[in-house]
Structure 1
Amino acid sequence: MSSSARRLLILDDDPGVVDFLRESLEEKGYETVGLSSPHEALARVRLEEFDLVITDIEMPEMRGTELLTAIHEVKPNQLVLFITAFGSIESAVAAVKAGACDFVTKPFKIEVLLLAIERALRERQMRREIVRLRTALPTESPGDLVARSPAMRKLLDIARRAARSDATVLLTGETGTGKSCLARFIHDTSSRRDAPFTQLNCAALPTNLIESELFGVKRGAFTDAREDRVGLFVSAGEGTLFLDEVGELPLETQAKLLHALETGRVRSVGATAEVAVRARVIAATNQPLETLLREGQFRPDLYYRLNVIRLEVPPLRERREDVVPLADLFLSRANDRHSREVLGLSAAAMKRLASYSWPGNVRELANLIERAVALSEHDTLLPEDLDFPQKDDEVAALLMTGAEKGVPLEEIERAYIRRVIEAHGGNKAAAARVLGIDRRTLHRKVEG
């Protein structure tokens, strides 16, 4: 391994030892910083990046094991190599168990120390490559989807079967759950995989443009129609047309979409003739279409035409086994996007991810990890790197989600009680005290 640009911090209470090690290692191409004070060394580690810290284990100002603990509090993955006298081998072994990468015993030849340094740096590089490649290896989770949880494995199994047919698919679920990823998975698994996958967010366009986008427009049909343009039904060819937020379509456009689905033909805005289309349609909504039906905002005939195969994408809080694998996936992508080398998440950070309620679902997790990777000063993400909303914001998000989806008060209450239990580490007695109810009442409300 080339020692080029490898930066080492050398610490020993004997300045003569420090000078000797610096001179020997710099001759081998390493960049070194030499110190005799553990407190000064800890301050430098906080502010600067070192590939390896080499320190004596027995120092009057601070023991090396204490320094190791202090270093790992600020940089959990900092490599630390101990130099120890023969009588302190037991302490050195204990330090390795506590997180040091290796130790060498005095007296030693410089070649022995060099081998230990190279081994430590090589093993760290291998761990980084493992982290980098982990999400690139084939797994049970295809594409952008992670399916460690039983709920997602069942969903993907049904999606694979749906891909074998040409039936219309309706994807439902909260915002940010990954409905567009599932639509892409169905397309990529189907016989249409080599044809285009075309998508339209029905909520992103004004009403007067949706029809021309879907069905095409003839030159002169309206003021800005300066040339003929085919719509997405035609440009999708024999592929898949994914209509996201289909519940946002105006009623007039719903009627034309129903006609296209029933006849396999569309008419461009301003045209007199229809053309045949062969695209398979997958629609998605985060709104309960049944509510829109009752309110007269969605056509019953279109609802039944779309609702041939219905797949409900579960919210992230109901598939907690997927949270950490998803975080790994987003971390790897954020590393590539921001040219960072964050190795992973600390155990405490993973525990925090697993206990959060995720009102914004997978999209919220992706944004949180990307922000953490972009701003973190560590090579491992710590809880303080994760910018979770304040508790008041979590409660507001829960209430907002409930209001938008028309969730009954009883379910909102149950979700809030579960959140309080999670916040108290599963301690139901403590949660009951905070809520001002007895444990029997808490159990009844949670179990419904």
Structure 2
Amino acid sequence: MSYSVLIVEDEPVLARNMHTYLERHGIGCQLAASGEEGLELLEAERPDVVLLDHNLPGKTGLAVLRLMREREPNLPVVMATGHGSEQVAVDAMRAGAYDYLIKPVSLHQLKQVLDRAVQQQRQAQELRHLRAGSAVTLPEGQGIAALVGDSAPMQRLRGRLRQLVEADAQMTDGFAPAVLIGGETGTGKELVARALHFEGPRRNGPFVEINCAGLPSQLVESELFGHERGAFTDARERRIGLVEAAHGGTLFLDEVGELELATQAKLLKLLEDHQVRRLGSVRARTVDVRVLVATNRSLETMVKEGRFRDDLYFRLGTLKVNLPPLRQRQGDVTQLALLFLARSARRYGKGPLVFSAEALQRMEAHNWPGNVRELANTVEQCAMLAGDPVIEADDLPLPVALEAGFAGVAPLNTDPLPTSLPDAERRLLLSALERNRWNVTQAARALGISRDTMRYRIDKFDLREGGPAV
């Protein structure tokens, strides 16, 4: 069993012996030589159990014990002293000590007591989760029920998630394996991560999310694992990373394929040993955290290209959840569109809004390269601009025509073949713009690129409405 212990002991030789023996058995240790130092480390390190000496300089062990119990009521504290008496033992137990040891104590016996304290504390924590489960109300839109859709792919997805939640609840050691959530952009990977957290036994713990692509590469490692003061130029104070902040809960890493190889190695260490080391620190700390990762990229391809560690990929591949694209969810577009329309109408203070039959048919026929996110944004735009209670097909900000391949892009086979790659790119851009009546946003969406990229390429090829076709 892996855990961390804070040893508050003023005898340096004894403290070092305990430290060496316990770390040899895979137990992370922090040492404090006084009660005041022990209270500081309690806040910074969040150990799983404390070994507290009774006779300390400054604050007495009993005084420190009472303060620790005030700050961490569920933390087991084992009291030890070289001057045992029945009254001291009684006082310690009344103050909330888990057990009381009289020195000299064998290191083997010490480990047994600490093991038992941590095990019972974890069982009690699990029992509290189970008892509170029926009383816990899921945050709106955070559970499995938030994954709307009656298509066969969505029914299979919800069944898979329920299996994972049930397996998570039956685990005994507290360290749940990582889950890899795959799917195209906009399919709802974050919703799946939240469903696994809020439906599972960690629902009362924190849900910490980080987008690995949204931070500069030089900051990702510090954000995840934290740093000590002076670890780098701007590290003016110690900072706990998001991994430690998620202790007892779930850490969700979106766009995990964007992590650099060095950070991937640290993530692998976390998954294998459940330990984290802050930048600039020599100590590893044990954390109890469920890791969920998501990606819209092929990690298998990245492994072959040497851009993703194969050992991390295999570790993440133990449990996989793949989200279906919206184009494969027959019938779900209408159900989602009506749901989004009702929400958007309330948001913008509109009365009841409805789609015409032709509008729903056009949405069902659209390829939706941006998946559910694109559908939600499209419906919100319709609700925001709606002047009438009925939204017609012409009101939809979708390409006028849908062709095979690129939605809304005219086929090129009626024109002479392009003579160069830039010529082919220019024709494709011009076709998309003409098909979408020179609406840059819609043309960019049809091509699967950003609006800024589309603007850049319009300027690059000097494209103008009404200008020459070639």
Partners of 1:355 and 1:270 lie apart in 2 by 55
Unaligned runs of 5+ in 2: 1-139, 169-175, 410-470
Instruction: Give 1:167's aligned amino acid.
Output: P
Q: Is the 8 A contact 1:359 1:398 kept in 2?
A: no
Map of 2:149 onto structure 1: 147
Instruction: Give 1:357's aligned amino acid.
Output: N
Aligned pair count reads 261
Structure 1 residues 398 and 195: CA distance shift in structure 2, 3 A: farther
Q: Secondary structure at the match of 1:270?
A: coil
Map of 2:134 onto structure 1: none
> Given the alignment of the two structures, is residue 310 of structure 1 paired with residue 312 of structure 2, yes or no?
no
| Correspondent of 1:382 among 367, 376, 392 | 392
Q: What does the per-residue CA deviation read over 1:286-343, in whole Å, with 9 as the maximum and x for residues that have no partner?
A: 0111100110111111001111111110000000221111112211221232222242
> Given the alignment of the two structures, is residue 242 of structure 1 paired with residue 252 of structure 2, yes or no?
yes
Structure 1 residues 350 and 276: CA distance shift in structure 2, 3 A: same
Deviation at 1:187, TM superposition (A): 1.0
Structure 1 residues 390 and 292: CA distance shift in structure 2, 3 A: farther
Map of 2:165 onto structure 1: 163
Deviation at 1:143, TM superposition (A): 4.7
Partners of 1:264 and 1:142 lie apart in 2 by 27
> Given the alignment of the two structures, is residue 183 of structure 1 paired with residue 193 of structure 2, yes or no?
yes
Q: Secondary structure at the match of 1:217?
A: coil
RMSD of equivalent CA atoms: 2.2
Q: What does the per-residue CA deviation read over 1:332-374, in whole Å, with 9 as the maximum and x for residues that have no partner?
A: 2212322222422111111111111111100100110000000
Deviation at 1:268, TM superposition (A): 0.9
Partners of 2:408 and 2:212 lie apart in 1 by 25
> Given the alignment of the two structures, is residue 263 of structure 1 paired with residue 265 of structure 2, yes or no?
no
Map of 1:289 onto structure 2: 299
Partners of 1:290 and 1:398 lie apart in 2 by 32
Structure 1 residues 391 and 303: CA distance shift in structure 2, 3 A: same
| Correspondent of 1:336 among 343, 346, 349 | 346
Unaligned runs of 5+ in 1: 1-137, 400-448
Deviation at 1:393, TM superposition (A): 9.4
| Correspondent of 1:356 among 363, 366, 383 | 366
TM-score in terms of structure 2 length? 0.53
Partners of 1:302 and 1:279 lie apart in 2 by 17
> Given the alignment of the two structures, is residue 230 of structure 1 paired with residue 235 of structure 2, yes or no?
no
Partners of 2:211 and 2:248 lie apart in 1 by 20
Structure 1 residues 348 and 377: CA distance shift in structure 2, 3 A: same
Instruction: Give 1:281's aligned amino acid.
Output: V
Instruction: Give 1:312's aligned amino acid.
Output: N
Structure 1 residues 192 and 247: CA distance shift in structure 2, 3 A: same
Q: Is the 8 A contact 1:177 1:313 kept in 2?
A: yes
Q: Secondary structure at the match of 1:377?
A: coil
Deviates more, 1:323-332 or 1:310-319: 323-332
Matches within 5 A, 1:4-23: none
Q: Secondary structure at the match of 1:320?
A: coil
Structure 1 residues 394 and 185: CA distance shift in structure 2, 3 A: farther
TM-score in terms of structure 1 length? 0.56
Q: Is the 8 A contact 2:401 2:408 kept in 1?
A: no
